[in-house]
């Protein structure tokens, strides 16, 4: 068993924020390249309106194309985001066995994302969670803007703590704390995750960091120090952030793997194969190579 | 008083590793731009052989050109590296009041850098330190490859602990632990700096990290957690590393300032003015803009 589990959100959170829209077949290629490197958890798509989010159109085709048999004794966890009951039903019809639903740390982010109040979004998520449990579907609930909202400023840590306790009590398999805009600093992360781990145990908690302000890796480390052992990351740092033009997006999977492995924490991921997935990601999207570790990983004498 | 002191080593460690050699007048401009932003400690040059290190030629001219009067009640600490007694004497003749001397974590790095054995380099440094104390000159002793040597591999932490105790006992004003090749991970940093701080107190200890493997900031954070409050950094991440082509060099001063200020730790440095120093650094050297925080710092709505 790896010491730390990484969930690559590049094929969803990453691609959703790229200007180039990829065909389902190319999204499948990217997921397979990740699985080939030893990544066991991938956020592979979203069942959302193709008009609202063209990059995620054809999620059922992605799911149909995915090879998700056990590799090395481990069955990959291929997660799709669902924003509402309709999305959940489509995901189920497509055979999805793991879904991710989003909660909101602020009112305005909920409105901007799903045109619902924060509390209505919580009710909708609770309802789908109940359905998913009956259906035997795995559920991650992710709380967006858990540290700071671009409109409302700092998020009340007590609100995040309440959401974590509530949704873990409701049976969510994972509660993910997301720094959606990359505004968190390691001191905040340390404080919030220590509280959440103290109240709920660390086993079902995870974190999602963006590298917007170059603090992706340091925030991963601060969370590790509190016992968190599961992280979102995106291959090649795909993502970008609409609030910070030119900024990098999600913390790059290759950066996180490199740091963890050098710290002696196994990830089960082969870095050479991961770099091939990274090259594929940049080739498909036409973006500049991301991931700040790349220069070192690709040095001549490696 | 700022909570954390940053020593910008760009004009020495940074420029020494750039392909373009700057005239003393341009190096003076860069130091002044740093002082103008509120940086109080700068490694401004080196009294080394101009044949061996053309980028540092004319160090006396740099010193003569520097404006080092007190600003806001604080007298800048302008440090010059001296590799031997001859360099020390030249620095003194030029009016230098703060010097930096290098110790080595490995035999082969000592040989490669100063063609001396590790122990001979220690003796030479001890001798100059004694002279400097009589002269009222401030001394930093920096131990290179404190975590890993490119030829000898991991450095024995016990060796670094002995050097720290010895040179602090001899009266060094500062003992700087340098990850010269950017190979350290935060777990190693935490362990070594906790030991050194426990044995010597943190007040005269400092750290020097490179961003070669993208771990510059996380290593700063790990050291902060052990009580270290002084760090080297280089404007715009100047530096590079001969062992990792294409890799970034020192951790960028602007990245460190951004992280610290967001953590609520004051540095006394104005980020807007620091970005002007960063732009000057890239303009003078002709390098690509470094510092990973730049994208966020220069975003449209800042």
Q: Does B242 touch chain A (CB under 8 A)?
A: no
What is the pLDDT at residue B298?
A: 66
- DSSP letter assigned to residue B240: -
Question: What's the rounded mean pLDDT across residues A254-276?
Answer: 95
Q: CB A214 to CB B293 under 8 A?
A: yes
What is the pLDDT at residue A240?
A: 65
Q: Are B70 and B40 in contact (CB under 8 A)?
A: no
Q: Which residue of B has its CA nearest to A150?
A: B301
- CA atoms of A173 and A234, how far apart (whole Å): 21
- CA atoms of A62 and A48, how far apart (whole Å): 13
Q: What is the pLDDT of residues B12-41, one digit of tens each?
A: 999 998 888 999 999 999 999 999 999 999
Give DSSP secondary structure letters for A257-300.
HHHHHHTT---S--HHHHHHHHHHHHHHHTPPP--TTHHHHT-T
Mean pLDDT, chain B, whole residue set: 92
What is the pLDDT at residue A288?
A: 77
Helix (H) or strand (E) holding A70: none
Question: What's the rounded mean pLDDT across residues A226-246?
Answer: 80
Q: Please say whether the dihedral angle defined by the alpha carbons of residues A263, A268, A270 and A271, taken in this order, is positive or negative.
A: negative
- Would you say residue A104 has pLDDT above 90? yes
Which chain A residues are within 8 Å of B213, Cβ to Cβ? 258-259, 262, 293, 296
- Would you say residue B245 has pLDDT above 50? no
* The Cα angle at residue A291 between residues A287 and A293, in degrees rounded to 5: 140
Nearest to B206 by CA among B41, B22, B95, B76: B41
Mean pLDDT, chain A, whole residue set: 92
Nearest to B293 by CA among B233, B242, B239: B233
A5-297 topology per CATH: TIM Barrel (3.20.20)
What is the pLDDT at residue A163?
A: 98
What is the pLDDT at residue A299?
A: 61
Nearest to B216 by CA among B197, B196, B236: B236
Nearest to A256 by CA among B215, B260, B146: B215
Cα–Cα distances in Å, from B257 out to A174, A252, B164, B190, B294? Answer: 34, 22, 26, 20, 12
Q: Please say whether the dihedral angle defined by the alpha carbons of residues A290, A293, A295 and A298, taken in this order, is positive or negative.
A: negative
Q: What is the pLDDT of residues B76-124, one digit of tens each?
A: 999 999 999 999 999 999 999 999 999 999 999 999 888 999 999 999 9
Min mean pLDDT across A139-148, A239-248, B195-204 is at: A239-248
Q: CB B218 to CB A217 under 8 A?
A: yes
State yes or no: is A100 an active-site residue: no
Count the residues in chain A. 302
Confidence of residue B299 (pLDDT cuts 50, 70, 90): low
Count the residues in chain B. 302
Nearest to B140 by CA among B176, B115, B92: B176
Cβ neighbours around B118 below 10 Å, total = 18
Structure tokens at A259: 């740091």
Contacts of A154 (CB under 8 A, 6+ apart): A147, A148
3-class secondary structure, A140: strand
B258 → closest Cβ in A213, A258, A296: A213
Nearest to B230 by CA among B210, B195, B191, B256: B256
Cβ neighbours around B257 below 10 Å, total = 28
Q: What is the pLDDT of residues A175-225, one digit of tens each?
A: 999 999 889 999 999 999 999 999 999 999 999 999 888 899 999 999 999
Q: Which residue of B has its CA nearest to A241?
A: B296
Nearest to A278 by CA among A268, A289, A264, A269: A289
Query: Where are the strands (E) in chain A, listed by range?
Result: 5-8, 41-46, 77-81, 98-104, 138-144, 148-149, 153-154, 174-179, 205-209, 230-233
Q: Report which of residues B180 and A241 the model is more confident about.
A: B180
Distance from CA of B95 to the nearest CA of A (A): 39
pTM: 0.95
ipTM metric = 0.93
* The Cα angle at residue A219 between residues A43 and A164, in degrees rounded to 5: 60
Contacts of B131 (CB under 8 A, 6+ apart): B85, B88
- CA atoms of A66 and A45, how far apart (whole Å): 11
- Would you say residue A78 has pLDDT above 50? yes
Among all chains, which residue has been given the structure tokens 């480390």? A221
Residue B19: exposure state from Cβ atoms within 10 A (0-12, 13-18, ≥19): exposed
Structure tokens at A159: 């609100």
Cβ neighbours around A233 below 10 Å, total = 31
What is the pLDDT at residue B243?
A: 44
- Would you say residue B153 has pLDDT above 70? yes
- CA atoms of A61 and B201, how far apart (whole Å): 61
- Scanning A272-301 for CB atoms below 8 A from B yields 292-293, 295-296, 298-301
- Would you say residue A243 has pLDDT above 70? no
Min mean pLDDT across A244-253, A258-267, B282-291 is at: A244-253
Nearest to B55 by CA among B87, B11, B94: B11
Distance from CA of A300 to the nearest CA of B (A): 8
- CA atoms of A92 and A138, how far apart (whole Å): 11
Q: Directed axis angle between helix B157-169 and helix B186-200, to 10°?
A: 30
- CA atoms of A170 and B36, how far apart (whole Å): 56
Q: What is the pLDDT of residues A137-174, one digit of tens each?
A: 999 999 999 999 989 999 999 999 999 999 999 999 99
CA gyration radius, chain A: 18
Q: Does A214 touch chain B (CB under 8 A)?
A: yes
What is the pLDDT at residue A18?
A: 85
- Would you say residue A72 has pLDDT above 90? no
- CA atoms of A273 and B47, how far apart (whole Å): 46
- Would you say residue B275 has pLDDT above 90? yes
Catalytic residue among B100, B176, B207, B241: B241
- CA atoms of A183 and A214, how far apart (whole Å): 10
- Would you say residue B288 has pLDDT above 80? no
């Amino acid at each position: 068993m790896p010491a730390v589990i990484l969930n690559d959100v590049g094929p969803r959170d990453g691609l959703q924020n790229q200007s180039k829209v990829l065909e389902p077949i190319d999204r499948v290629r990217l997921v397979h390249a990740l699985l080939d490197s030893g990544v066991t958890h991938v956020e592979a798509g979203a069942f959302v309106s193709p008009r609202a989010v063209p990059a995620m159109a054809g999620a059922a085709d992605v799911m149909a194309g995915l090879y998700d048999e056990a590799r090395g004794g481990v069955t990959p966890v291929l997660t799709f985001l669902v924003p509402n009951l309709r999305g959940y039903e489509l995901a189920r019809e497509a055979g999805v066995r793991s879904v991710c639903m989003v909660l909101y740390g602020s009112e305005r982010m909920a409105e901007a994302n799903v045109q619902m109040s924060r509390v209505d979004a919580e009710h909708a998520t609770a309802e789908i969670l109940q359905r998913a449990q009956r259906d035997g579907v795995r559920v991650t609930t992710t709380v967006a803007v858990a540290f700071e909202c671009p409109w409302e400023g700092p998020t009340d840590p007590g609100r995040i703590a309440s959401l974590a306790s509530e949704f873990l009590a409701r049976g969510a398999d994972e509660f993910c704390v997301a720094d959606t805009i990359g505004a968190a600093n390691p001191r905040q992360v340390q404080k919030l995750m220590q509280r959440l781990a103290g109240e709920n145990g660390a086993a079902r908690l995870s974190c999602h960091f963006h590298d917007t302000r170059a603090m992706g890796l340091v925030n991963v480390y601060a969370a590790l120090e509190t016992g968190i052992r599961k992280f979102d990351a995106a291959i090649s740092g795909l993502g970008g952030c609409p609030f910070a033009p030119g900024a990098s997006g999600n913390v790059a999977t290759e950066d996180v793997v490199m740091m963890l492995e050098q710290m002696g924490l196994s990830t089960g991921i082969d870095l050479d194969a991961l770099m091939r997935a990274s090259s594929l990601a940049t080739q498909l999207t036409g973006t500049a190579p991301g991931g700040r570790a790349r220069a070192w990983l690709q040095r001549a004498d490696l």
